Chains A and B, each alone.
Chain A
Amino acid sequence: MNRLAVAIATLALLSACDGGDIIIQPSTTDASVDNSSNTTQPVAEENPCASYLSTGGQTIQGELSGNNCIYVPSFVDAGNNLTVNMTIPDLENDGAHIFEGSLFVGKTYDTDEGLAGAGITKGGDGPVLTVEAGATLAFRSSGDFIIVNRGAQLFAVGTEDKPITFTSVSDVEGTVGPEDVQQWGGIVINGFGVTNKCQYTGSMSAGNLTTSDCHVDAEGAAGLDESQYGGDNNEDSSGRLEYVIVKHTGAEVANGDELNGISFGGVGSNTIIKNLQVYSTYDDGIEMFGGAVSFENYVGVYVRDDSIDIDEGWSGSITNALVIQSETLGNHCIEADGIGSFSSLTSEAVEATIKQGINSRPTISNLTCIVSPSAEQGNFDPGAGWRLREGIFATINDSMVVGSFNSDSDDSNYCLRIDNRSKQAAQDGDLSLNSVIFACADRTRGNSLPNGTRVEDWAAANGAVFATINDWADPTPNAHTDLQLLQDTPPVYSIEYATMSVDGEVPSGSPQNGVYIGALSTADINWAMGWTYGIFEGNRGQSLWFE
């Protein structure tokens, strides 16, 4: 057991009076003490824990403790990044991989020269961390989190039966409440994709967009925790995430910066993300800072801030997504910004960015948002639907916001809010909502478009249907016929569009694709069943508040 090795390094700054030199002599003093009784491992038992070969040719391996593998900071930690390929296996008996430090894959570089020197230029050229289906990775404390640096890749491919879980030790130990957050940091994935925090020449449409020295400091990162993202390769691959669940995240890593469930910084389109869930996160569920990674089948449950947050020119898509807020906490289902640092830019700079085509241009289809019209609670802003602003050109199809399960608390629980440059985008047709239904007591927020049209009128005339809600209305067939959008138990399944009821009538129009809008339908494959946590009976810590 070397786990208690305590080292106190001592620095000596000595100066010979006549020599005139500053002498640096750090020395390492081993002050290790281990008072724990001998829980020596049985000899010769095979160690299933992850291992890698150090640069010195030594095998570094985690240590088996009961069913779990323990990885001390000398295995990996901030400043002791994983720089070679490694596989984290699925452990028997639901054992977890417990990390006592951070897990950073690859090194970060903040100059072009640094990247070139390391042979990392376009992505996919760094170390690979592979996580086997069924594995659980757990982190112990607030300062510990995961970074997948530019060039490095994370292959975490689970299955419906064997999803991969990233969570806290408190969750593994069963001492965490269903809605507890800030139990550990979260995940940061960085790529070489396009972010409008950097300066580019050329344009997206001409296909000649290039940049140099694009190194955006990722959120909450200083000192050994720092990392950078950004570049001009929107086709970058940061790996593959399938059937992955990220839980109880959001601890503060540095000054006031809390981590999201997963932050995608400039992550490229060749990254495959399919069946991803975030559960009980303090900050946002997923936040994309530029890049073009796309998501198929996303679930956000009990996200306290924004379940989907878009910034800095993300141009990927989300297909099939289910967002369920907590009854009392949670802000937007979507908060979507077009241009980073928008509030300090002149309108000329904003238009130049749009002209280059590097403002956010996402496509979102089949999203169901079940939001709680709660008042602001503690530190969190009121539950609301979609906030589209700062020059985002978004296309949202076949989706709905249901904010009527509870009493409306104030006029901040809007379904739709369009702000500043995005109003012009709406007027110009650069922002479009097609076959979407809004069921909130406060339909919209914000002033009119530049041409004077009210946001609600614009939306209604361009593919959105607003339900009339007085205070609240159960949108299931169990209650009444005026509003019927969702059905079954739990009521997260969309009713077929042609049989939906809004203000007692079938909503106008039809889905862009298929026969229903929203995430799930009882008539279709239930892609969320079997692997997600917290929604369906049998695999959750509490029942849903709107059942």
Chain B
Amino acid sequence: MKPREPSAGAAVWTIAAAMFAGIAGAQDAVDTNEEAEGGSPTDRSTVSAGPIEEVVVLGRLINSTQQLINERQDDEVVSDVMGSEMISRLGDATVAVALRRIPGLSLVNEKFIYVRGLGERYSSTLLNGATIPSPDLTRNVIPVDIFPTSIVSSLRVQKAYSADMPAAFGGGAVDIRTKGIPSGFTYAIEVGSGYNFENDGDAYSYPGGGSDRWGTDNGSRALSPQLESEIGRFLGNLDVQGILDRLRKEGNHDATIEDARRINRELALHLNRNVSVAEESIHPDLDLKASIGNNVMLGDDWEVGFLFGAGYKTTWRENERLSRNFNFPDERTDTKLESTYTVDITGTANFGLSYLGEHEVTTTSLFLRNTDDETTIRDFFNENREISDEIGFRNYSVLFEERELIVHQVKGTHRFGDLTRELPVVGWFDRSWIPLDAEVSWFHSDTVVQTDIPNQVTVKAQTVTAPTTGEVLSSVINADASTSDFRFTLLDDDVLNYGWRFNIPVSTTNWFLEASGGYEHARKARTYRQSQFRLGAFSVADPRILEGSIGEVFSDASIMDPANDFVFDRTGTNNQSYLAATMTEAVFGKVDVTWKEVWRLAAGARWEDYKQVALDWNPYGFTITDPVVTTDPERLEQSTFAQDNIYPSVSLTWIAPFGQWEWAERFQLRFGWSETVVRPDLREITDASYIDPITDDLVDGNPSVIPSDVANYDIRAEMFFTNGDNLTVSAFYKDIVNPIEFFESAASDTTVAREIVNATSAQVSGVEVEALKELSFLSGLLGDWINMFFVQANLTLQDSELVAGEKADAPTNDVRPLVGASEYVANAMLGFDSDDGRHTATVVYNVFGERLYVAGRLGAPDGYEQPYHSLDFTYSWFPTEAITVKAKLRNILDGTVEIEREGVVVFSEQPGSSASISFKWAY
């Protein structure tokens, strides 16, 4: 026999990977000119000395954010920036949670950031300005919960498009900027622990692997190589008849059906069936972090620096989700009890080299691992078994999902400033043509994401339940061919992004002009492989064994006992796996003109050439009619998509001449206009339907779907006051033509099908208000103690409307809000900084208005997620210069997440309050 499945699959991947050949050992890029390691000890040392008055107290907050405010002010387009100091005050552990504090942003499904009410499809995520791959199994979107805030220097959300960024821009672009090189020697060690009050001390668990504590599987869950090779031997046909057929083809003419049955069952023994669900006592969270960095001058001209960081965190969470049927909320319930053990590991290594202060090369390497080990027991009732029937269904499932991101970026900036121009080597050439302070910068970013879900097991069982409560009294594991499902999923997503740009500044007395331009290349290769098997017994000799644990029912002895009629096979459709690639080439040019520091006009355009391919991949295809990938030219053609276009942007700013406005130190007014695009996601252009690996929905792609064109309009007024107060008011309007949306489509029986179509139009308009106010003006009224407080708040009011149009399949409401768009989102923060600088405390509140969760079809009402109020408290104590003690209370209001359909609560979940404490020793 010749290479079969495994090698076939491997060959495909190898060649796909060859797309990236020659790009080894990558690097990356960081802004070293950003603030150093986000901590505050240096600030504090200046503060703790001497008497304190308001300026100093506020000064601290402002100092740490002044750079960011400056950046925002000086930005040519509308953007918001949040620094690590603020994130630390807020106490948010992941980028996802921190981002919802920014005006106009909301967090959906705890993972995805919606900017200005537009869904995950419309927001892009960059890492240090570069495009990165996604661990999402079917889409391009980046679930931002994968990034811990400990690696973040600042988060920048650009809400108006500028030509130097990718044209795939809808609501906004989030740039996660990681910590760079420190300004001097620094180190920090931090130890923390915490607990969620929803945990009851015991969690569901199952026998895992020896390296689970490191968030990785030790191989015990891996798809057995012997099984893979046997699949090849039997040409993918693992059913009894297929095996028998193959045995005879191999020359064994005496092979009997019994031989084939035995082999079929032996194949099942290659699965790890040791997944009996049991209760295990759990431990509190553990959070360890360490970092070290330095920055030294080598001679007068050279400066080198580095920063290494590492983190390790484990948490246990118990979670209960209750779904209820809209029409039969009391009779048909679905309760999921889920225990999750999470391991997060981070590692960073940054190096920087600077010459003359005008040339700089920095590298960033980042390793992130986020592993969730979930054990779930789901008890449910449906149209066939209601609670009053006193029988129900139960599913046991275990899921070990390891997501890993490895980033290498290198970035360089070369400014032809005075010092460079004086260099002897430059002197050899005619330098008169090089404008002073002309700058060339470049970056190269090579990023890999892998999502590995080995041995995801679901086992079906039946229950006998109590009359009115539905409480499970007893359960037995099913006896049929599809009792259990064993799934192995592996996603690899590689993104290579590089580019360069130049900036040429020219100034006269009244004019300042900066011309810039550049080139960018981004390409992505993805392989998604899903192997799925089923194992069950048509019948068992002694039905009592079905009352046992999963490990007992599926023990070697039980499976091999001929009296138990076990059967094993591959399952699932042959197109769950896929290959995809995208490539973008872009060239842009911009001019940024300022007149008398009063008017500023930035205008640019970007040309993008975009190509995309997504191919269904059958790793178990062994015949010409069932190939690994199709060779039919028509189908191949249908799997591709290409478009090139020019995307313009214009931004105009009026800056109030200094001193003209008594009450504000600075006032500016901006206008922005741009045209951008939102393209179909990877699998959306393919005709074939597939089953969503997360939701089990049937998803229909649509080869005729076209990109959405987005027109963006912004106005923003910004006021900055001498005492640090500020006020920003923004208004925006977005008009989307042919918005790409998922709609429910008709499917038989209880199947839920969704299809991608271009709706007619969508519009979003809104107002964002953001303000910071120190409270010293109240001191006359309330006393001096109030000087230690400040408030910061933002409010977004918006209105969205989607017109579904003819292509949508009978939506209940043809005109409705956009999914995930709230009419209001508010954040409020009360900050405290003690006079002696040894205590800071922050109370922060977040709320979002009702938002559409799922749109109904054919008269089924739309489901709305109800407003959720969250209140968090963070307190830091600095007993000495080197030590920080931090205590956090999260989600103090302990609210319930609820989704309603016409007043009926169809889903509820209690995220729970949690408390944590940490000690940090830093220099």
Seen from chain A, the residues whose Cβ lies within 8 Å of a Cβ on chain B are: 3-15, 17, 20-22, 24, 26-28, 31, 33-37, 72-74, 77-80, 100-101, 110, 140-143, 169-170, 173, 175, 180-182, 195, 197-199, 213-219, 221-226, 229-230, 251-258, 263, 265, 282, 289, 311-312, 331, 340-346, 348-350, 352-353, 376, 378-379, 381, 389, 412, 420
Contacts and interface: CB of A to CB of B under 8 A. Distances in A.
Contacts of B640: 22, 24
24 contacts: A12-B16, A13-B19, A14-B15, A15-B20, A20-B521, A21-B611, A22-B611, A27-B631, A28-B624, A36-B248, A73-B625, A173-B257, A199-B858, A216-B747, A217-B698, A218-B748, A223-B576, A254-B573, A256-B696, A343-B326, A349-B859, A378-B462, A379-B483, A389-B383
Interface string B682-710: 00000011110000101010000000000
B22 interface: yes
Contacts of A9: 621, 627-629, 631
A141 B534 CA distance: 13
Contacts of B325: 343-344
Contact of B479 (A225, A341, A348, A378): A378
Contacts of B690: 222-223
B33 interface: no
A33 B534 contact: no
A217 B631 contact: no
A172 B248 CA distance: 17
B575 A26 contact: no
A173 B389 CA distance: 41
A8 B859 contact: no
B889 interface: no
Interface string B603-631: 00000010111011100011111111111
A255 B691 contact: yes
A35 B251 contact: yes
Contacts of B2: 6, 31, 33
Which of B12, B18, B253 counts the most chain A CB atoms within 10 A?
B12
Contacts of A381: 384-385, 391
Given A73-B623, A352-B859, A412-B391, A141 B480 contact: no
B242 to A, nearest CB: 6
A142 B481 contact: yes
Nearest to B631: A26
Contacts of A222: 573, 575, 688-691, 698
Interface in B502-524: 521, 523
Contacts of A350: 859
Contacts of A101: 625-626
Contact of B538 (A27, A110, A182, A224): A182
Contacts of A345: 327, 858-860
B628 A74 contact: no
Given A28-B624, A73-B623, A343-B332, A22 B581 contact: yes
Contact of A197 (B327, B390, B691, B747): B747
Contact of B569 (A7, A14, A141, A379): A141
Contacts of B585: 20
Contacts of A376: 391, 462
A170 B261 CA distance: 12
A251 B691 contact: no
Contacts of B861: 344, 346
Nearest to B461: A379
Given A73-B626, A223-B616, A217 B746 contact: yes
Contacts of B18: 12-14
Nearest to A379: B478
B328 A343 contact: yes
A265 B859 CA distance: 21
B241 interface: yes
Interface stretch (B232-240, B413-421, B555-563): B232-240
B525 interface: yes
A11 B615 CA distance: 10
Contact of A14 (B19, B383, B521): B19
A33 B232 CA distance: 12
B751 interface: yes
B242 A140 contact: yes
Given A13-B613, A222-B691, A348 B482 contact: no
Contacts of A72: 623
B332 A256 contact: no
Interface of B: 1-4, 8, 11-12, 15-16, 18-20, 22, 235, 237, 239-242, 245, 248-251, 253, 257, 325-328, 332, 383-385, 389-391, 460, 462, 476, 478-483, 521, 523, 525, 534, 538-539, 543, 546, 567, 569, 571-576, 579, 581-583, 585, 609, 611-613, 615-617, 621-631, 636, 639-640, 688-691, 696, 698, 700, 745-749, 751, 753, 809-810, 812, 856-861, 901-902
B624 A74 contact: yes
A304 B11 CA distance: 44
Given A8-B8, A182-B538, A217-B746, A199 B810 contact: yes
Contacts of A282: 480-481
A342 B751 contact: no
Contact of B613 (A24, A110, A142, A265): A24
Contacts of B902: 346
B249 A34 contact: yes
Contact of B860 (A15, A35, A289, A349): A349
Contacts of A28: 624, 627, 631
Nearest to B745: A217
Contacts of B538: 180-182
A110 B700 contact: yes
A182 B478 CA distance: 14
Contacts of A8: 3-4, 8, 11, 621-622, 628
Contacts of A251: 481
Nearest to A175: B257
A217 B747 contact: yes
B748 A11 contact: no
A6 B622 CA distance: 5
A80 B625 contact: yes
Given A7-B623, A378-B478, 10 more contacts: A9-B627, A14-B18, A20-B583, A20-B585, A26-B628, A252-B482, A255-B691, A289-B749, A378-B546, A381-B385
B391 A15 contact: no
Contacts of B621: 8-9
A226 B688 contact: yes
A348 B574 CA distance: 41
Given A222-B690, A254-B691, A345-B327, A216 B15 contact: no
A206 B625 CA distance: 48
Contacts of B462: 376, 378-379
A13 B385 CA distance: 50
Contact of A344 (B253, B326, B569, B629): B326
A197 B859 CA distance: 10
Contacts of A331: 384
Contact of A213 (B460, B698, B809): B809
Contacts of B629: 9, 11, 26
Contacts of A100: 245
Query: 6 smallest A-B Cβ distances: which pairs?
Result: A349-B859, A223-B573, A223-B575, A141-B239, A199-B810, A9-B627
A3 B622 CA distance: 12
Given A182-B538, A198-B746, A379-B460, A7 B696 contact: no
A73 to B, nearest CB: 5
A341 B15 CA distance: 46
Nearest to B580: A13
A118 to B, nearest CB: 14
A224 B241 contact: no
Contact of B579 (A13, A170, A173, A195): A13
